[in-house]
Protein backbone atom coordinates (compact mmCIF):
# COMPACT_ATOMS: atom_id res chain seq x y z
CA UNK A 1 0.00 0.00 0.00
CA UNK A 2 2.90 2.33 0.74
CA UNK A 3 4.18 1.90 -2.83
CA UNK A 4 0.82 2.87 -4.22
CA UNK A 5 0.65 5.87 -1.90
CA UNK A 6 4.12 7.02 -2.95
CA UNK A 7 3.29 6.86 -6.66
CA UNK A 8 -0.05 8.61 -6.33
CA UNK A 9 1.28 12.10 -5.49
CA UNK A 10 3.91 11.77 -8.23
CA UNK A 11 1.25 10.84 -10.76
CA UNK A 12 -0.84 13.82 -9.70
CA UNK A 13 2.11 16.20 -10.08
CA UNK A 14 2.95 14.76 -13.54
CA UNK A 15 -0.66 15.08 -14.64
CA UNK A 16 -0.78 18.69 -13.47
CA UNK A 17 2.46 19.56 -15.29
CA UNK A 18 1.21 17.86 -18.46
CA UNK A 19 -2.07 19.77 -18.28
CA UNK A 20 -0.22 23.04 -17.86
CA UNK A 21 1.97 22.28 -20.89
CA UNK A 22 -1.08 21.43 -22.99
CA UNK A 23 -2.79 24.66 -21.95
CA UNK A 24 0.31 26.70 -22.78
CA UNK A 25 0.67 25.05 -26.21
CA UNK A 26 -3.00 25.61 -26.98
CA UNK A 27 -2.74 29.22 -25.81
CA UNK A 28 0.25 29.81 -28.07
CA UNK A 29 -1.54 28.18 -31.01
CA UNK A 30 -4.64 30.29 -30.45
CA UNK A 31 -2.50 33.41 -30.15
CA UNK A 32 -0.87 32.68 -33.52
CA UNK A 33 -4.19 31.75 -35.16
CA UNK A 34 -5.82 34.94 -33.86
CA UNK A 35 -2.96 37.29 -34.80
CA UNK A 36 -3.98 40.10 -37.19
CA UNK A 37 -1.76 38.77 -39.98
CA UNK A 38 -3.09 35.24 -39.69
CA UNK A 39 -6.70 36.41 -39.56
CA UNK A 40 -6.12 38.59 -42.62
CA UNK A 41 -4.55 35.70 -44.53
CA UNK A 42 -7.43 33.37 -43.66
CA UNK A 43 -10.02 35.98 -44.62
CA UNK A 44 -8.31 36.60 -47.97
CA UNK A 45 -8.04 32.89 -48.73
CA UNK A 46 -11.77 32.49 -48.04
CA UNK A 47 -12.64 35.30 -50.44
CA UNK A 48 -10.32 34.01 -53.17
CA UNK A 49 -11.72 30.48 -52.79
CA UNK A 50 -15.19 31.84 -53.63
CA UNK A 51 -13.85 33.70 -56.66
CA UNK A 52 -14.88 31.25 -59.38
CA UNK A 53 -17.17 31.03 -62.42
CA UNK A 54 -16.95 34.77 -62.81
CA UNK A 55 -17.21 37.28 -65.64
CA UNK A 56 -16.18 40.88 -65.01
CA UNK A 57 -15.20 43.88 -67.10
CA UNK A 58 -11.96 45.65 -66.25
CA UNK A 59 -10.04 48.85 -66.84
CA UNK A 60 -6.27 48.68 -66.45
CA UNK A 61 -3.82 51.55 -66.08
CA UNK A 62 -0.03 51.57 -65.97
CA UNK A 63 1.48 54.38 -63.87
CA UNK A 64 5.21 55.02 -63.99
CA UNK A 65 7.43 55.91 -61.03
CA UNK A 66 6.89 59.63 -61.75
CA UNK A 67 3.12 59.20 -61.45
CA UNK A 68 2.31 59.55 -65.16
CA UNK A 69 -0.16 57.34 -67.00
CA UNK A 70 1.79 55.38 -69.62
CA UNK A 71 -0.78 52.82 -70.77
CA UNK A 72 -4.46 52.04 -70.37
CA UNK A 73 -6.71 49.25 -71.62
CA UNK A 74 -10.19 47.80 -71.27
CA UNK A 75 -11.51 44.28 -71.52
CA UNK A 76 -13.23 41.35 -69.87
CA UNK A 77 -12.10 38.72 -67.39
CA UNK A 78 -13.44 35.15 -67.53
CA UNK A 79 -12.52 32.83 -64.64
CA UNK A 80 -13.39 29.16 -64.20
CA UNK A 81 -10.63 27.74 -62.00
CA UNK A 82 -8.01 26.80 -62.92
CA UNK A 83 -8.77 28.36 -66.32
CA UNK A 84 -8.54 32.06 -66.97
CA UNK A 85 -9.20 34.33 -69.96
CA UNK A 86 -8.12 37.95 -70.00
CA UNK A 87 -9.43 39.62 -73.15
CA UNK A 88 -8.39 43.16 -74.03
CA UNK A 89 -10.57 45.04 -76.52
CA UNK A 90 -8.97 48.49 -76.54
CA UNK A 91 -6.74 50.14 -77.49
CA UNK A 92 -5.26 46.98 -79.08
CA UNK A 93 -6.85 43.53 -79.02
CA UNK A 94 -5.11 40.86 -76.99
CA UNK A 95 -6.21 37.57 -75.43
CA UNK A 96 -4.45 35.84 -72.55
CA UNK A 97 -5.39 32.23 -71.82
CA UNK A 98 -3.98 30.49 -68.75
CA UNK A 99 -4.37 27.63 -66.33
CA UNK A 100 -2.14 26.18 -63.62
CA UNK A 101 0.49 25.03 -66.12
CA UNK A 102 0.69 27.30 -69.13
CA UNK A 103 -0.10 30.74 -70.43
CA UNK A 104 -0.66 31.89 -74.01
CA UNK A 105 -0.69 35.53 -75.05
CA UNK A 106 -2.30 36.13 -78.43
CA UNK A 107 -1.80 39.41 -80.27
CA UNK A 108 -4.08 39.36 -83.35
CA UNK A 109 -2.55 42.52 -84.85
CA UNK A 110 0.90 40.95 -84.72
CA UNK A 111 -0.41 37.51 -85.69
CA UNK A 112 1.70 36.13 -82.86
CA UNK A 113 1.21 33.83 -79.87
CA UNK A 114 3.66 33.87 -76.96
CA UNK A 115 3.63 30.60 -74.98
CA UNK A 116 5.07 30.28 -71.51
CA UNK A 117 5.11 27.82 -68.66
CA UNK A 118 3.18 29.30 -65.76
CA UNK A 119 5.09 29.03 -62.50
CA UNK A 120 3.12 27.81 -59.50
CA UNK A 121 5.21 30.04 -57.24
CA UNK A 122 2.91 32.84 -56.17
CA UNK A 123 5.68 35.42 -55.88
CA UNK A 124 6.55 34.76 -59.55
CA UNK A 125 3.00 34.57 -60.90
CA UNK A 126 0.37 36.75 -59.16
CA UNK A 127 -2.08 35.28 -61.65
CA UNK A 128 -2.00 32.09 -59.57
CA UNK A 129 -3.87 33.94 -56.84
CA UNK A 130 -6.94 33.89 -59.07
CA UNK A 131 -6.52 30.49 -60.71
CA UNK A 132 -5.45 28.16 -57.89
CA UNK A 133 -8.33 26.23 -56.38
CA UNK A 134 -6.48 25.14 -53.23
CA UNK A 135 -4.69 28.37 -52.48
CA UNK A 136 -2.21 28.56 -49.60
CA UNK A 137 -0.65 31.95 -48.94
CA UNK A 138 1.49 31.05 -45.94
CA UNK A 139 5.17 31.08 -46.67
CA UNK A 140 4.70 33.34 -49.68
CA UNK A 141 3.29 36.56 -48.23
CA UNK A 142 2.77 38.63 -45.15
CA UNK A 143 -0.88 39.70 -45.35
CA UNK A 144 -2.46 42.80 -43.84
CA UNK A 145 -6.08 43.89 -43.99
CA UNK A 146 -7.54 47.38 -44.14
CA UNK A 147 -11.25 46.78 -44.27
CA UNK A 148 -11.89 44.85 -47.47
CA UNK A 149 -8.50 45.74 -48.93
CA UNK A 150 -5.78 43.14 -48.42
CA UNK A 151 -2.11 44.03 -48.76
CA UNK A 152 0.31 41.22 -49.66
CA UNK A 153 4.04 41.68 -49.15
CA UNK A 154 6.19 38.91 -50.69
CA UNK A 155 8.53 37.07 -48.34
CA UNK A 156 10.95 36.21 -51.16
CA UNK A 157 13.62 38.56 -52.42
CA UNK A 158 13.05 37.05 -55.87
CA UNK A 159 9.46 38.27 -56.08
CA UNK A 160 8.61 40.12 -59.28
CA UNK A 161 6.58 42.73 -57.42
CA UNK A 162 7.00 44.76 -54.25
CA UNK A 163 3.39 44.90 -53.05
CA UNK A 164 0.04 43.55 -54.16
CA UNK A 165 -3.31 44.96 -53.06
CA UNK A 166 -6.63 43.16 -53.57
CA UNK A 167 -9.91 44.89 -52.78
CA UNK A 168 -13.34 43.30 -52.45
CA UNK A 169 -16.75 44.97 -52.19
CA UNK A 170 -19.56 42.82 -50.81
CA UNK A 171 -17.49 39.73 -51.52
CA UNK A 172 -16.91 40.69 -55.14
CA UNK A 173 -13.49 41.41 -56.63
CA UNK A 174 -13.28 45.17 -57.05
CA UNK A 175 -9.63 46.14 -57.59
CA UNK A 176 -6.17 44.69 -58.04
CA UNK A 177 -3.10 46.91 -57.68
CA UNK A 178 0.43 45.66 -58.36
CA UNK A 179 3.46 47.72 -57.31
CA UNK A 180 6.83 46.65 -58.68
CA UNK A 181 10.35 47.37 -57.47
CA UNK A 182 10.88 50.23 -59.92
CA UNK A 183 7.95 52.24 -58.58
CA UNK A 184 5.64 51.37 -61.48
CA UNK A 185 2.02 50.57 -60.63
CA UNK A 186 -0.55 48.45 -62.46
CA UNK A 187 -4.04 49.49 -61.38
CA UNK A 188 -6.99 47.29 -62.35
CA UNK A 189 -10.61 48.16 -61.59
CA UNK A 190 -13.41 45.64 -62.11
CA UNK A 191 -17.04 46.37 -62.94
CA UNK A 192 -20.21 44.62 -64.15
CA UNK A 193 -19.26 41.66 -61.96
CA UNK A 194 -21.24 38.48 -62.66
CA UNK A 195 -20.84 35.45 -60.41
CA UNK A 196 -22.03 31.83 -60.74
CA UNK A 197 -21.72 31.91 -64.51
CA UNK A 198 -21.61 28.81 -66.71
CA UNK A 199 -18.44 29.15 -68.77
CA UNK A 200 -17.95 26.69 -71.60
CA UNK A 201 -14.55 25.03 -71.90
CA UNK A 202 -14.05 26.24 -75.48
CA UNK A 203 -13.95 29.79 -74.12
CA UNK A 204 -10.46 28.93 -72.85
CA UNK A 205 -9.28 27.43 -76.12
CA UNK A 206 -8.29 29.47 -79.17
CA UNK A 207 -8.13 28.56 -82.85
CA UNK A 208 -5.34 30.57 -84.39
CA UNK A 209 -5.42 31.66 -88.04
CA UNK A 210 -3.00 30.13 -90.53
CA UNK A 211 0.29 31.95 -90.55
CA UNK A 212 0.25 32.75 -86.82
CA UNK A 213 3.76 32.78 -85.33
CA UNK A 214 4.34 30.88 -82.08
CA UNK A 215 7.05 32.13 -79.74
CA UNK A 216 8.27 30.52 -76.53
CA UNK A 217 8.54 33.20 -73.88
Give pLDDT, residue 124.
57
CATH number of the domain that residue 102 is part of: 2.50.20.10
- Distance of alpha carbon 63 from alpha carbon 113, whole angstroms: 26
- The answer to whether residue 27 scores a pLDDT higher than 70 is no
- What range does the domain containing 173 cover? 37-216
The percentage of residues in the chain with a pLDDT greater than 70, rounded to a whole number, is 80
Give the confidence band of 3 by pLDDT, cuts at 50, 70, 90: very low
- The answer to whether residue 99 scores a pLDDT higher than 50 is yes
Task: With respect to residue 102, please indicate whether it lies within any of the assigned structural domains.
Answer: yes
Give the confidence band of 112 by pLDDT, cuts at 50, 70, 90: very high
Give pLDDT, residue 34.
56
Task: With respect to residue 11, please indicate whether it lies within any of the assigned structural domains.
Answer: no
Tens of pLDDT, residue by residue over 39-52, are 999 999 999 988 99
- Distance of alpha carbon 74 from alpha carbon 92, whole angstroms: 9
- Distance of alpha carbon 181 from alpha carbon 188, whole angstroms: 18
Task: With respect to residue 93, please indicate whether it lies within any of the assigned structural domains.
Answer: yes
Tens of pLDDT, residue by residue over 5-14, are 444 444 444 4
Task: With respect to residue 115, please indicate whether it lies within any of the assigned structural domains.
Answer: yes
Average pLDDT of the chain is: 82
- The answer to whether residue 63 scores a pLDDT higher than 80 is yes
Task: With respect to residue 196, please indicate whether it lies within any of the assigned structural domains.
Answer: yes
Task: With respect to residue 65, please indicate whether it lies within any of the assigned structural domains.
Answer: yes
- Each residue of 134-151: b (16+ CB within 10 Å) or e? ebebeebbebbeeebebb
Average of per-residue pLDDT across 69-92: 95
Give the confidence band of 153 by pLDDT, cuts at 50, 70, 90: very high
Task: With respect to residue 30, please indicate whether it lies within any of the assigned structural domains.
Answer: no
Q: pTM value?
A: 0.79
**Sequence-ordered alpha helix ranges (H) in 86-131:** 128-131
- Each residue of 158-167: b (16+ CB within 10 Å) or e? ebebebbbbb
Helices (H) then strands (E): counts for the chain:
3, 12
Task: With respect to residue 13, please indicate whether it lies within any of the assigned structural domains.
Answer: no
Q: Comparing C-alpha atoms, which of 48, 130, 117 is closest to residue 81?
A: 130
**Who wins on pLDDT, 24 or 180?**
180
Cis before 91? omega within 30: yes
Residues 6+ apart with CB under 8 A from 36: 144, 145
Number of domains present in the structure of the chain: 1
Least confident of 12-21, 84-93, 182-191: 12-21
Tens of pLDDT, residue by residue over 161-207, are 899 999 999 989 999 999 998 999 999 999 999 999 999 999 999 88
- Distance of alpha carbon 182 from alpha carbon 163, whole angstroms: 11
Amino acid sequence: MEVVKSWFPIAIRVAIKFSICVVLVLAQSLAVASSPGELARMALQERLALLDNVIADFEQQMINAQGYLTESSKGTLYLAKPKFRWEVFAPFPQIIIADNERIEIYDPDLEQVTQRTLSDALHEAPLALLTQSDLRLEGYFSVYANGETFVLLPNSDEALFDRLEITFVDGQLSALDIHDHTGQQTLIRFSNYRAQQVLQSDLFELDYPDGTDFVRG
